[in-house]
Amino acid sequence: MEKLIPNIVSIAGVDPSGGAGVLADLKAMSALGGYGCAVIAALTAQNTQGVTGVQAVSADFVALQLKTLFDDVRIDAVKIGMLSDVDVIKVVAEAIKTYRPRYVVLDPVMVAKSGDRLLPESCVETLKSELLPLTTLLTPNLPEAAALVGEDEISDASEMPHLAQKLLSMMAPRAWVLVKGGHLSGEDVPDYLTNGLETVVLTSVRTQTKNTHGTGCTLSSALATLLPQTESVPEAMKKAKHYISQAIVHADELSVGHGHGPVHHFWEKW
């Protein structure tokens, strides 16, 4: 039987430098055997050194993009990234309820690698109430997880289970949370994946590079692409973790910008 190539959509913002947002998402999807689609939810003026502007796309036009796409294309998984407007969050949630894609991966993009805030405070509560209950897999880093639960950022891996349980309490039964440990100090980077019943901790050796722009976007897109192609969330996570780890290892082969450069999405192809 011929393999079915999954159709994945990224609902996110645009980074003109290509390291994050929908451009990075489409690269990861393509590298891992998916057909990438995109619904543009926000525009940014940014490069590897910082963000100079953010402009939301109107909620009505985001809704039109979603309807037009879903009415025609079978979507096997959704990756949700940067949403910088309350009304946009609501129309994305409504589309998820209407079209009921099997997998929804939510990367709660809040702060850029440069430290610039991408998600206004006014959007956090809407994201929690509207999208978290519809999410299959939530992929926050430690600052994002702290903001979602309303607590101080943790500094020790032993606190990750507590943080994950707090996040799971906001989600539907059988949903998964991936708490990413890249912000912890130390040579190893632990990622804590759990649905409350099954837990997997994956650890990688930290790569010394400044070129880590878009790692969260890339990992969440990898997961959305691999979920329809694997038997379980942990299996998809193991493959996605290998992919992003190697994309970081090979990041210095690229020469893009003067700040935090992108990871190498096509490390295995080029």
Half-sphere exposure of 170 (CA within 13 A, CB side): 21
48, 135, 136, 212: the active-site residue:
212
Residue 212 is among the residues annotated as catalytic for this protein = yes
Secondary element (H or E) of residue 190:
strand 188-194
Residue 237, number of CB atoms within 10 A of its CB: 24
Q: Is 214 a catalytic residue?
A: yes
Is there a contact between 226 and 236 (Cβ–Cβ < 8 Å)?
yes
- For tokens 């025609």, the residue is 72
Known catalytic membership, residue 215: yes
Is the separation of the CB atoms in 65 and 22 below 8 Å?
no
Confirm whether 216 is a catalytic residue: yes
CA neighbor of 206 nearest in space, from 215, 214, 196: 215
Options 44, 215, 218, 225, the catalytic residue: 215
CB atoms within 10 A of CB 255: 8
Number of Cβ within a 10 Å radius of residue 57: 19
Give yes or no: 217 in active site.
Answer: yes
**Of 13, 19, 34, 214, which residue is the catalytic one?**
214
- Active-site residue, from 79, 113, 180, 241: 180
Residue 262 · residue 211 · CB < 8 Å: yes
Q: How many CB atoms lie within 10 A of CB 75?
A: 19
98 is catalytic: no
d(C-alpha 217, C-alpha 108), whole Å: 10
Out of 18, 34, 81, 216, the active site residue is 216
Q: Which of 13, 34, 217, 218 is catalytic?
A: 217
Positions marked catalytic = 180, 212, 214-217
